[in-house]
Structure 1
Amino acid sequence: MTLIIGHRGSAGSFPENTMISFKAAMDAGADGIELDVQMTKDGEIVVIHDEKVDRTTNGTGFVKDLTLTEISRLDASYTFPEYKGSANVPTLKEVLEWATTRDSCIVNVELKNGIIDYPNIEEKTIELINHFNLQKRVIISSFNHYSLVKCKEISSDIETAILYMVGLYKPWNYAISIGAKGLHPHYYAANPKIILESQQCGIDVRPFTVNEIDTINSLFKNKCSAIITDFPELAAQLKKHNE
C-alpha cells in the first residue's frame, strides 16, 4: 500500500510548514507529513524551508541570525492572505507534540543543513524525537548524507532517508552502505525498476514532489512505498480509485 505524505503539510492549498498546513494534510487523508527544520540564533529548532525568512514570512534575514522570539512574531501566511495573522513559524517541538495526538501520523523531518552547518542540529532534533517517544514514527531525511550518518550514530532507532535529485547507480546499495532505510528521490529519478529493486532490498522509496495526476497514478500502480505531495487531498482521492 502506497502511503501519502503531505509535503510541508498541504503546501499546495495552505501556508507551507505551518500548523494549519499540517492539520489540513492529515484531515485530507494523508498518512503523514513532511517538514523542514533550520536553527535559530539561540539554538532552537524551527520549521521553515528556506535559510532566510523572506520568501514565506513578512520578515527578512537568515534564520540563523534571528532568535526564536523574533521568528515567532513573524506572519507565515505566505501567498495565502486569508490566513494572515493565524499562521506562524512553528517549532519542531510544537509539531512533534501535536503529532502525538494523531495516531500513526508519520513525520518526515528534513534537516536543512546542506548550505548552513548548524552545530548539533542532529543531536537537538533527535533529543526532541526521543522526548515525545516518536522514534518509530519519524523519518529523518537530508541532502546532507554526512548528517544522515551522524544521525544513525546518535540513534539507531530512527529511520533515515537519502534525498537526491538525479539518477544514482543502484541507490539501494548506497542506502544500505550508510545505514539508511529509505530513498527520497525527485520523482524523475524514481523509475519502476529502481522502485522495484530498492523495495526488494528492503529500502522504501518515497519520491517528491509528486503533484501531477498521471505521476501519482503511476506511482500507485508501481506500488511505491509512499509519495510526498503538495496535494494530499487529491492523492487520497486518486488512491481510492487505484485500490
Structure 2
Amino acid sequence: MTLIFAHRGSAGTHPENTMSAFHEAARVGADGIETDVQLSKDGEVIIMHDERLDRTTNASGYVKDWTLQQLKTVDASFGFKGNWGKEKIPTLEELLIWLSHNQLLCNIELKNTFFLYPGLEEKVIQLVRAYEMEGRIILSSFNHYSLVNCHQLAPELETAPLYRDGLYMPWVYAKAIGGSAIHPNIRAAPDAIIQASLSMGMPVRPYTINKAAEMKRLYGMGCSAIITDFPKVAVRVREGLNM
C-alpha cells in the first residue's frame, strides 16, 4: 500500500508546520507527516520551513537570529489568520512528545542548505534517540553531505536524499550515500524512474502530490509513498481505489 505523508502537516488546509496541521493529518488518517527543522539563535531545534519568518508568521527576519523564547511570541497562523487563532512555532521536542502518543511516521527534513546550522544533525539525532523514535523517523535533506553525516552518526536511522533535478540511476546514488529511499520532486521522477527504483528495492516518496489524478496514478504504480499538502484528499482517493 502506498503510504501518505502530510507535507508540513495538512499544509493545504491548516497553518503549515504547526501542531494544528499535524493534528489534522492524524485526524484524517495520514500514515505520517513531513516537517522541517532549523536551529534558533540559542541552538534549539525548531520547526519551520523557510529560513525567514516573513511568509508564514507575523514577524520578519531569519529564524537563526531569534531565540526560542522570542520565536514563541510569533504568530505562525499568518497564512490562515483568524481561522484557528494564534499558532505557535513548535519545537522538534514538542512534536516528538506528541508522536509518542500515536503511531505516525515522521519525515524530518534538515533545512541546512542556505545556512549550514553546525550541530543540527547531532541535536536532531539526540532528540530522536531520547524519545526512542528510531524506527519511525526518516531524515531527509537537499544537503546530501548532511545526510552522509547523519548516516555515520546514526546508521540505525533511515536517510533519504531530496532532489529537484533528474538523477541518473538515483537508486544507485542513494545507496552510495547510505540512503534507504529517494524523495524526488515529482517532475524529476518520471514513471520509468519510479518503476526502476522500486524494482531495485529502493522506496520512492515523491513530493508534492496534490492532484487526485496524480495520486491515483502513483497508487496504481505501487509507489512507496506520496508527500501531499492535502492528506484528507489522498486518503479518500486511496480508500476509493480499495473499494
Same fold, judged at TM 0.5 (above): yes
Residue 35 of structure 2: aligned partner: 35
- Find runs of 4+ consecutive structure 1 residues off by over 3 angstroms: 83-86
* Matching of residue 135 in structure 1 with residue 134 in structure 2: yes
Q: CA deviation at 1:163?
A: 0.3
TM-score (norm 2): 0.97
Are 2:57 and 2:79, in contact at CA under 8 Å, matched by a contact in 1? Answer: no
- Kindly provide the CA deviation profile for residues 116-155 of structure 1, in whole angstroms up to 9, marking residues without a partner as x: 0101100000000001000010000000000000000000
| Secondary structure in structure 2 of the residue aligned to 1:59 | coil
- Kindly provide the CA deviation profile for residues 39-90 of structure 1, in whole angstroms up to 9, marking residues without a partner as x: 0000000000010111111111111110000001100002212346431100
Query: In structure 2, what is the Cα distance between the partners aligned to 1:64 and 1:41?
Result: 5
Q: Give the 3 Å change call, closer, same or farther, for CA 232–84 of structure 1 in structure 2.
A: closer
Are 1:38 and 1:111, in contact at CA under 8 Å, matched by a contact in 2? Answer: yes
| Secondary structure in structure 2 of the residue aligned to 1:203 | coil
Query: In structure 2, what is the Cα distance between the partners aligned to 1:213 and 1:175?
Result: 28
Residue 74 of structure 1: aligned partner: 74
Query: In structure 1, what is the Cα distance between the partners aligned to 2:118 and 2:226?
Result: 31
Structure 2 residue ranges without an equivalent (≥5):
none
Residue 8 of structure 1: aligned partner: 8
Residue 199 of structure 2: aligned partner: 200
Are 1:75 and 1:84, in contact at CA under 8 Å, matched by a contact in 2? Answer: no
Give identity over the alignment, percent: 48
Number of aligned residue pairs? 242
* Matching of residue 47 in structure 1 with residue 64 in structure 2: no
What letter matches 1:129 in structure 2?
V
> 1:1-243 residue pairs with structure 2 within 5 A?
1-83=1-83, 85-103=85-103, 105-243=104-242
| Secondary structure in structure 1 of the residue aligned to 2:152 | helix
Are 2:77 and 2:87, in contact at CA under 8 Å, matched by a contact in 1? Answer: yes
Could you say what the CA RMSD is over the residues aligned between the two structures, in angstroms? 0.9
TM-score (norm 1): 0.97
Are 1:37 and 1:110, in contact at CA under 8 Å, matched by a contact in 2? Answer: yes
What letter matches 2:54 in structure 1?
D
What letter matches 1:40 in structure 2?
S
Structure 1 residue ranges without an equivalent (≥5):
none
| Secondary structure in structure 2 of the residue aligned to 1:227 | strand
